[in-house]
Structure 1
Amino acid sequence: MEYVGVVIISHSSKLAEGLLELIRQVIKDVPVATAGGTEDGEIGTSMEKIHEAISSVMSEKGVIALYDLGSARMNAEMAVEFNQLENVTIANGIPLVEGSYVAAVESSIGKSREEIEEAIQKVKQMEI
């Protein structure tokens, strides 16, 4: 089965890796990648790391990318635009932990990128 890929973008590599560990306790098959921290291991985000993460989980069904803070969003948008990536949704304003988890669960049951986006919007509204 083809899945929507999930990308976790955080200023902290430890936070991103910890969230991946949490997801992997339940969801094993969905491609999930992290883009945490900068290239030199500092706090921050990297357009290149985000691009690599998106590319590593890209499928015909696309990718959902979730982030922790506004500058991560900016770098994600630049990575998508600069590399002319298609079928990528950057989930704006979604709580990172809950949103990433729900995105992985929804992807694991075969939902489309649009259906997953709708489900994680409910996380934002705390309707789950």
Structure 2
Amino acid sequence: MTGPGPVGIVLVSHSAEVAESVAALARGLAAGGPLAPVAAAGGTADGRLGTDAERIMAAAREVDGGAGVALLADLGSSVLTVKALLVEDELPEQSRLVDAPFVEGAVAAVVAASAGAPLAAVEAAAAEAYSYRKH
């Protein structure tokens, strides 16, 4: 019997295109071995800018392999929606909103999760992206 799969990553954005693009970037930069599951949950069901709780819940279920789900949100209502879903127990067990920059944090989270890191280490790797300097 095998244990749980890697930590799953959900990228929540107001824009479907942004969520998909950041997911593709993170997958590409983490390539080279098995990849952790990554799902984009962006925009509304009718294609507008916004946040959709149903999309977030579906994405979290899609990537949940039993090791936890790290959710990274871009801003404002996406953060509030994830927080509400956590409070209402609408996300898989061991789901966590990760306080990290969206792009850099997503890449760090996918790399860490793909390497088999547990949820706490995936969260720490993503949060550490706040200290990345660009000068």
2:25 to 22, 25, 29: 22
Alpha-carbon distance between aligned partners in 1 of 2:115 and 2:28, rounded to the nearest angstrom: 16
1:46 to 52, 55, 58: 52
Matches within 5 A, 1:1-128: 2-27=5-30, 29-82=35-88, 83=90, 85-92=92-99, 94-126=100-132
1:16-47 Cα offsets, whole Å, 9 max, x none, are 11111212223352100010001110001011
Query: Offset at 1:84?
Result: 5.6
Query: Offset at 1:85?
Result: 3.4
Contact 2:69 2:92 (C-alpha < 8 Å) held by counterparts? no
* Distance change (3 Å), C-alpha of 1:121 and 1:85: same
Which of these two proteins has the greater Rg computed from alpha carbons? 2
Which blocks of at least 5 consecutive residues in structure 1 are unaligned?
A: none
State how many pairs are aligned.
127
Paired letter, 2:120: E
Which blocks of at least 5 consecutive residues in structure 2 are unaligned?
A: none
4+ residue segments displaced more than 4 Å: none
1:42-83 Cα offsets, whole Å, 9 max, x none, are 001011111111111012210100011021011112223332
Root mean square deviation of aligned Cα: 1.9
TM-score (norm 2): 0.86
Alpha-carbon distance between aligned partners in 2 of 1:20 and 1:105, rounded to the nearest angstrom: 12
Contact 2:60 2:91 (C-alpha < 8 Å) held by counterparts? no
Alpha-carbon distance between aligned partners in 2 of 1:125 and 1:95, rounded to the nearest angstrom: 10
